[in-house]
Amino acid sequence: MVHLPEKLLNGYRNFMAGRYASETSRYRTLADDGQTPETLMIACCDSRSAPETIFDAGPGELFVVRNVANLVPPYAPDGEYHATSSALEFAVQGLKVKNIVVMGHGRCGGIKSVLGPTHEPLSPGDFIGKWMSLLGPAAEAVSGNTMMTAGERQTALERISIRFSLANLRTFPCVDILEKKGRLNLYGAWFDISTGELWAMNPVTGDFERPRLD
Amino acid sequence: MVHLPEKLLNGYRNFMAGRYASETSRYRTLADDGQTPETLMIACCDSRSAPETIFDAGPGELFVVRNVANLVPPYAPDGEYHATSSALEFAVQGLKVKNIVVMGHGRCGGIKSVLGPTHEPLSPGDFIGKWMSLLGPAAEAVSGNTMMTAGERQTALERISIRFSLANLRTFPCVDILEKKGRLNLYGAWFDISTGELWAMNPVTGDFERPRLD
Amino acid sequence: MVHLPEKLLNGYRNFMAGRYASETSRYRTLADDGQTPETLMIACCDSRSAPETIFDAGPGELFVVRNVANLVPPYAPDGEYHATSSALEFAVQGLKVKNIVVMGHGRCGGIKSVLGPTHEPLSPGDFIGKWMSLLGPAAEAVSGNTMMTAGERQTALERISIRFSLANLRTFPCVDILEKKGRLNLYGAWFDISTGELWAMNPVTGDFERPRLD
Amino acid sequence: MVHLPEKLLNGYRNFMAGRYASETSRYRTLADDGQTPETLMIACCDSRSAPETIFDAGPGELFVVRNVANLVPPYAPDGEYHATSSALEFAVQGLKVKNIVVMGHGRCGGIKSVLGPTHEPLSPGDFIGKWMSLLGPAAEAVSGNTMMTAGERQTALERISIRFSLANLRTFPCVDILEKKGRLNLYGAWFDISTGELWAMNPVTGDFERPRLD
């Protein structure tokens, strides 16, 4: 009796014969000493933009939150369950990460869903509709511009959402304080699935630019 | 002027020269045709247990939610922002995934934090304390058992939490209905960082067992 | 007595010793037989985006109109002097070009001037203000979106203006007829001065995409 | 799917591998700092007389207006759209160029069209007919002189048109004032496509002379 999809088991076999075999001591050390990742990555669930793949990151390097459209809600200490804020708090206060990267990507389905036309909720709970409504005002400003193509509106909102999440990150007192002390750095990035291009946000202007790799 | 940590840029260079170079057409097709992942993976943010690494998964294969301790809260259509429920809805109703895997792992910091001794909140908002309180009753039952070692209590709660998340998944009507129709399969898995061992949950007994890989 | 700036005379010396010397017969043939360029290029006056340079074009290849912001006004047979419409008519009806390319570029000063803040006219005649007012409605739609950065608004309007000029080209009966007969092809392109990247417009979606050069 | 003529894409490849590769930092600086060309060149659209080629000019050196027969209409602040006057205003008042060069050339099709015999308009709008009528009185004087050969009449009108445009330039108050202050210099040039010869206008006599290149 097999208790996992065959494809995953095959992949796991490759992992054991490959990466784990060649990095056994690294895994053991990480298990014994605990993790000390330098970077918290806030990324999208999308199957095409895994941070470990795009940044060729090994075990122990990236502490990764993934939700639809890589959103950070604003600071709301209201006693509710907050998946993203919890991970943020754990990474910043518990693990003392040095960097937070919000990484968006092209052709994001979550972003597309708020640019209309209006859809029926995916289920009666309409969780995704509520979640993406965090971007409501920005989506409205973009979707009204019919002189931009659908693709341009999509890219524009993807990038706005990264700046939105970065701004929300700074509403968390711990992030704000540590950044001002120079002990925490915030970054924005956007990945183009088709071309593989990575665009990094210029922290001064907010523009996304191709980093010079040479 | 570099707008990303140097280490990430180096990793990205490797990605472009390696994986992207050898899978360019796959990325382009995934961009043009959209993603059709078969599996929703609910995993922990921990830097040592990236699903794509452990399952050697390529682009387009896994839709991945990552939060602290890979928890799924119970169905609560209350109009609040729900990161995890949104991703679940999107994967099941939007992308029509066939499998949902809840993957926990050893030495999970989130699990450890609820097994006491009681800590000061990491910040005044105490997001992580509230988040992990989802496991409150289970944690209480385990932490009172002083005949188990600290390590055993930790592993026990890690596995309980996977069954807890699977049970919560079934409180979502769409999951419940599709599973009963045989169109959605739920799985539990637990990864041992130190040994690299993967344990899969027996759906009948709830036990975690080593799958036979040969 | 020198009747041209020294720098231009030096450049001309290089031309005679270089390009002209190696292409003398080509120039002679072009003089004797007349020009038969295949492409009308409508480009900006900007000193950083010369079409012959960017497309490495030799003598006889490109018939080039250059005005501020590479604009084509709508068809207006009103008996006034129309520099751009005249060149268009000459190229299409006289020279029977096969292609028309509207090429914009990044950091265009003309585009920037309509995205405000409102400036004093450069001179009492305010020619540039009137000329750029061709883009008035589009500029208004873009400049109101303060969630986009100044750079993003600029790029958006640069690309909108290319689509605008292409649409205006099609208001000229001769262009419309020949395009429908398949004897004339219209293209849009956008050049990034900083990176040297050329983006070509997808004629179906209007999006600008990097052409695959491999 | 290719969205540009193949020939242009090939040329662009050469540009990237050649000029851009060897002048990358120059392009980047020009993008970051903006353009500061010293010279406004008013030239013809003709595919055989690209200013950048003839003057071996690099990026950032020439701000270039190109229309049929390199004409400057007289100053007419009438609130209409003026492509050429706009570019002139932008170059002189915005970019503060030091030089304006009107460059004509031999075998100019626009000039030829006004020397008769009378042609049918190229299209019902007859844009080119109206545009070239700027030279009407001059053309009439020349075309009536049957003692000059057709070739001599053509060259004569080409050179008259350069002086005509220079005179019109001086009807613009900003040009007139800056020239009188010694901050702006006006030049005329004429290029012989066949021989590659460049003739510069003597500002005192109006004659076109071969500059000494040694």
Chain C residue with minimum CA distance to A210:
C195
Average pLDDT over residues A130-146: 91
Name which of C7, C48, C93 is nearest D59 (Cβ-Cβ). C48
Residues in chain D within 8 Å Cβ distance of C52? 50, 52-53
Chain C residue with minimum CA distance to D26:
C194
Q: Distance from C25 to chain D by nearest Cα, in Å? A: 9
Query: What is the residue-averaged pLDDT of chain D?
Result: 94
Where is mean pLDDT largest: A138-147, C47-56, C129-138, D73-82? C47-56
CA–CA distance from B158 to each of B21, B148, B151, B191, D151 (Å)?
39, 14, 11, 10, 94
Query: What is the residue-averaged pLDDT of chain B?
Result: 94
One-letter identity of residue A193? I
Residues in chain C within 8 Å Cβ distance of A145? 141-142, 145, 156
At D88 the pLDDT is 97
Would the pLDDT of C184 be above 70? Answer: yes
Confidence label for C67 from pLDDT (cuts 50, 70 and 90): very high
Annotated binding site of C: 44, 46, 105, 108
User: Is A207 touching B (CB cutoff 8 A)?
Assistant: no
Angle at CA D61, nearest 5°, toward D97 and D50? Answer: 110
Q: Distance from A44 to chain B by nearest Cα, in Å? A: 8
Confidence label for C110 from pLDDT (cuts 50, 70 and 90): very high
Chain C residue with minimum CA distance to D19:
C53
pLDDT in tens, C149-176: 999 999 999 999 999 999 999 999 999 9
Residues in chain C within 8 Å Cβ distance of A159? 148, 152
User: Cis peptide before A117, with omega less than 30 degrees from 0?
Assistant: yes
Count of residues in chain A: 214
Q: Scan for tokens 């409150």, then name that residue.
A: B136
The answer to the question of whether B45 is labelled as a binding residue is: no
Q: Scan for tokens 């270089």, then name that residue.
A: C18
What is the C-alpha separation between D46 and C95, in angstroms, rounded?
11
> Contact C47/D62, CB-based, under 8 Å?
yes
| Interface C:A, ≥3 CB–CB pairs < 8 Å | yes
At D1 the pLDDT is 55
Cβ pair A61, A41 in contact under 8 A: no
Residues in chain D within 8 Å Cβ distance of C59? 47-50, 53, 193
The β-bridge relationship of strands B185-191 and B99-105 is parallel
Name which of A27, A47, A109 is nearest B59 (Cβ-Cβ). A47
Residues in chain C within 8 Å Cβ distance of D15? 53-56, 196
Confidence label for C2 from pLDDT (cuts 50, 70 and 90): low
What is the C-alpha separation between C61 and C55, in angstroms, rounded?
10
User: Is A10 touching C (CB cutoff 8 A)?
Assistant: no
> Contact C207/A152, CB-based, under 8 Å?
yes
At D74 the pLDDT is 95
Would the pLDDT of C1 be above 70? Answer: no
What is the C-alpha separation between B55 and B121, in angstroms, rounded?
34
User: Cis peptide before B117, with omega less than 30 degrees from 0?
Assistant: yes
Question: Which DSSP string do the residues of A104-125 spell out, in sequence order?
Answer: EETT-HHHHHHSSSPPPPSSTT
Question: Would you tell me how many other CB atoms lie within 10 Å of the CB of residue D96?
Answer: 13
- 3-class DSSP state for residue B194? coil
Handedness of CA A177, A179, A183, A185 (dihedral sign): positive
At A214 the pLDDT is 61
> Contact B67/A83, CB-based, under 8 Å?
yes
Q: Give CA torsion, residues D120, D123, D125, D129, to 10 deg.
A: -40
User: Is C86 touching D (CB cutoff 8 A)?
Assistant: yes
pLDDT in tens, A25-69: 999 999 999 999 999 999 999 999 999 999 999 999 999 999 999
Q: Distance from D208 to chain C by nearest Cα, in Å? A: 10
Residues in chain D within 8 Å Cβ distance of C4? 101, 187, 189, 198, 200, 211
Would the pLDDT of C213 be above 70? Answer: no
Look at residues B1, B165, B2 and name the one whose alpha carbon lies nearest to residue B70.
B165
Would the pLDDT of A195 be above 60? Answer: yes
What is the C-alpha separation between A192 and B128, in angstroms, rounded?
33
- C 137-166 residues with CB below 8 A of D? none
**Helices within chain C (DSSP H only):** 6-15, 21-22, 24-33, 51-54, 83-89, 109-114, 127-132, 136-143, 150-169, 173-180
ipTM: 0.96
Look at residues B110, B92, B116 and name the one whose alpha carbon lies nearest to residue B162.
B110
Handedness of CA C72, C73, C77, C81 (dihedral sign): negative
One-letter identity of residue C50? A
Q: Scan for tokens 């450069």, then name that residue.
A: C122
What is the C-alpha separation between A46 and C141, in angstroms, rounded?
31
The answer to the question of whether A108 is labelled as a binding residue is: yes
At C35 the pLDDT is 96
Chain B residue with minimum CA distance to A204:
B3
Chain B residue with minimum CA distance to A78:
B125
Span D35-209 CATH architecture? 3-Layer(aba) Sandwich (3.40)
Contacts of C111 (CB under 8 A, 6+ apart): C69, C104, C132, C135, C154, C157, C158, C161
Q: Distance from C45 to chain A by nearest Cα, in Å? A: 24
Residues in chain C within 8 Å Cβ distance of A141? 144-147
Angle at CA C55, nearest 5°, toward C50 and C61? Answer: 95
User: Is D85 touching C (CB cutoff 8 A)?
Assistant: yes
Q: Scan for tokens 């009806």, then name that residue.
A: C93
Question: Which DSSP string do the residues of D17-74 spell out, in sequence order?
Answer: IIIIHHTHHHHHHHHHH----SEEEEEE--TT--HHHHTT--TTSEEEEEEGGG--PP
Confidence label for C49 from pLDDT (cuts 50, 70 and 90): very high
CA–CA distance from D2 to each of B210, C102, C161, C210, D64 (Å)?
52, 16, 21, 10, 29
The answer to the question of whether A119 is labelled as a binding residue is: no
User: Is C190 touching D (CB cutoff 8 A)?
Assistant: no
Domain boundaries of chain C, sorted by first residue: 1-34, 35-209
Cβ pair C25, C85 in contact under 8 A: no
What is the C-alpha separation between C177 and B157, in angstroms, rounded?
74
Average pLDDT over residues B67-95: 95
What is the Cα A99 distance to its own chain's centre? 13
Would the pLDDT of B1 be above 90? Answer: no
The answer to the question of whether B174 is labelled as a binding residue is: no
Handedness of CA A87, A88, A93, A99 (dihedral sign): positive
At C117 the pLDDT is 81
> What are D102's two structure tokens?
């009107």
Name which of C77, C86, C131 is nearest D86 (Cβ-Cβ). C131
Look at residues B37, B73, B51, B38 and name the one whose alpha carbon lies nearest to residue B170.
B73
At C80 the pLDDT is 87
| Interface B:D, ≥3 CB–CB pairs < 8 Å | no
Average pLDDT over residues C34-60: 97
> Contact A205/C138, CB-based, under 8 Å?
no
Q: Scan for tokens 């041992």, then name that residue.
A: B192
Look at residues B62, B75, B47 and name the one whose alpha carbon lies nearest to residue B187.
B62
Question: Would you tell me how many other CB atoms lie within 10 Å of the CB of residue D113?
Answer: 21
Question: Which DSSP string do the residues of C143-161 spell out, in sequence order?
Answer: HT-TTS-HHHHHHHHHHHH
- The percentage of chain A sitting over the pLDDT mark of 70, rounded to a whole number, equals 98
Chain A residue with minimum CA distance to B85:
A127
Average pLDDT over residues B41-70: 98
Name which of A45, A86, A131 is nearest B128 (Cβ-Cβ). A86
CA–CA distance from A185 to each of C160, C200, D80 (Å)?
35, 36, 52
Interface probe for D, chosen from C16, C36, C52, C123 (most Cβ of D below 10 Å), is C123
Handedness of CA B136, B138, B141, B144 (dihedral sign): negative
Q: Distance from A161 to chain C by nearest Cα, in Å? A: 9
Name which of C31, C65, C82 is nearest D66 (Cβ-Cβ). C65
- The percentage of chain B sitting over the pLDDT mark of 70, rounded to a whole number, equals 98
User: Is D31 touching C (CB cutoff 8 A)?
Assistant: yes
What is the C-alpha separation between B122 and B124, in angstroms, rounded?
7
Annotated binding site of D for Zn(2+): 44, 46, 105, 108
Cβ pair B169, B72 in contact under 8 A: yes
Cβ pair D184, D100 in contact under 8 A: yes
> Contact A130/B81, CB-based, under 8 Å?
yes
Look at residues B73, B183, B180 and name the one whose alpha carbon lies nearest to residue B130.
B73
Would the pLDDT of D213 be above 80? Answer: no
> Contact A45/B209, CB-based, under 8 Å?
no
Name which of A15, A91, A173 is nearest B55 (Cβ-Cβ). A15
The β-bridge relationship of strands D185-191 and D198-201 is antiparallel
